[in-house]
Chain A
Amino acid sequence: MPAASAGALVLALGLGTVAYGLTPTGEPVRIAYTGPDAAAPTHSPPTAGAALPGSAPDVQRTASPPVRLLIPRIGVDAPVGPVGLNGDGTVEVPPLDRPDRVGWYRDGAAPGLPGPAVLLGHYRTRKGAAVFLQLPKLRPGDTVQVRREDGRTVSYRVRAIRQFPKSAFPTDLVYGDTPDAQLRLVTCGGTIGHDGHYSDNIVVLADLADGP
């Protein structure tokens, strides 16, 4: 019965097209640089009460929240606001309807103080490109600046760019204590799953270049 076979073929083709239409699409997001990390700063870790390298002694005891993030090489100049934890213990992110904003994990370190200051931004939302769309293109040596609420600016230098599956997120690497002031930039990468979310996180690790 060739007519029925042809009909079944067309039906299968149609259902396949529908299934394709229901599948989220998008190119996989990968970091551009996969070479060796930049050398870590050679200065020794500060002791309690000692000044951070390149920083004024009075500001190391004054935690001031970040208010703006500037990454000249990828054209980022974005407002920063505090984020905390969701009820399930995961980190909050900026609202999806504000893809231009960057979130600072307020229970971590403040920029310029010992420990990792963690900034989170969306890679892409349903509204389109977000603030960290170009983040995977960063390379070791790039400069990142964080402007604090007290008007001072902390400069960091990118040491490494890494990509991890969310299922194997390196919590200690990102949030773990460090002897000196560091910066973490976190966004999404990898492929889009059926839940509409990306499979990976891209993490930029940066060291203090110039204190506030």
Chain B
Amino acid sequence: MSRTSTVHRSVRSALVCAGAGVAVVLSAGAAAADGSSPSPVPSATRSAAPSAVPTLPPVGPDGTRQGSALPVGPDGRRVGTTPRGGAQTGEADAGTSPTAVVLGSVVALAGAAGIGTAVVRRRRAGAQA
């Protein structure tokens, strides 16, 4: 096996490894960026029986819709279900930064290529010695 082919093979394998690593990082980033789950509550913790089914408020005798589908006490107060926990009233607008991901990937690729080149040079130097 010639020295040149050994060098080429080493460089090629280094680049392949670097490329694969960057691809894994990028695919993880894409998955994270696409994740638009509306609620952080894990599905495993969800109640089997929903406590309320969304319904339209009923129409009262005066023709106006009443404020709630739940029973109303004598003083006009509702006797209803209380929501659990806080409200998901916002989400990150910018989310992830594609520019930083691409730039970082290029830099990481260059770093991996540099390592590969250094390894090849070291082997070459060892073979010459």
Contact = CB atoms under 8 A, between A and B. Distances in A.
Given A10-B107, A106-B69, A166 B86 contact: yes
Interface string A76-108: 000000101111111111001000000001111
Give the bracket for the number of chain B residues in contact with chain A. Answer: 35 or more
A85 B83 contact: yes
Contacts of A49: 75
Contacts of A22: 28-29, 32-33, 96-97, 101
Interface in A92-127: 92-93, 96, 105-110, 113-115, 120-127
B65 interface: yes
A44 interface: no
Contacts of B26: 18
A94 to B, nearest CB: 8
A91 B99 CA distance: 36
A17 interface: yes
B105 A89 contact: no
A6 interface: yes
Interface string A1-45: 101101111111111111111111110000000000000000000
A3 to B, nearest CB: 4
Interface residues of A, number: 88
Interface string B74-98: 1111101111111111111111111
B38 to A, nearest CB: 7
A9 B46 contact: no
Nearest to A131: B89
B69, B74, B77: most-surrounded residue (chain A CB, <10 A): B77
A145 interface: no
Nearest to A191: B92
Contacts of A196: 35-37, 91-92, 95
B54 A110 contact: no
Given A17-B100, A85-B52, A109-B77, A26 B93 contact: yes
B60 to A, nearest CB: 7
Given A22-B101, A106-B57, A196-B35, A7 B111 contact: yes
A26 B92 CA distance: 7
Contacts of B109: 14
The 10 A-B residue pairs with the shortest CB-CB distance, nearest first, are: A14-B108, A21-B100, A110-B67, A7-B114, A17-B104, A11-B111, A63-B67, A188-B90, A10-B111, A14-B107
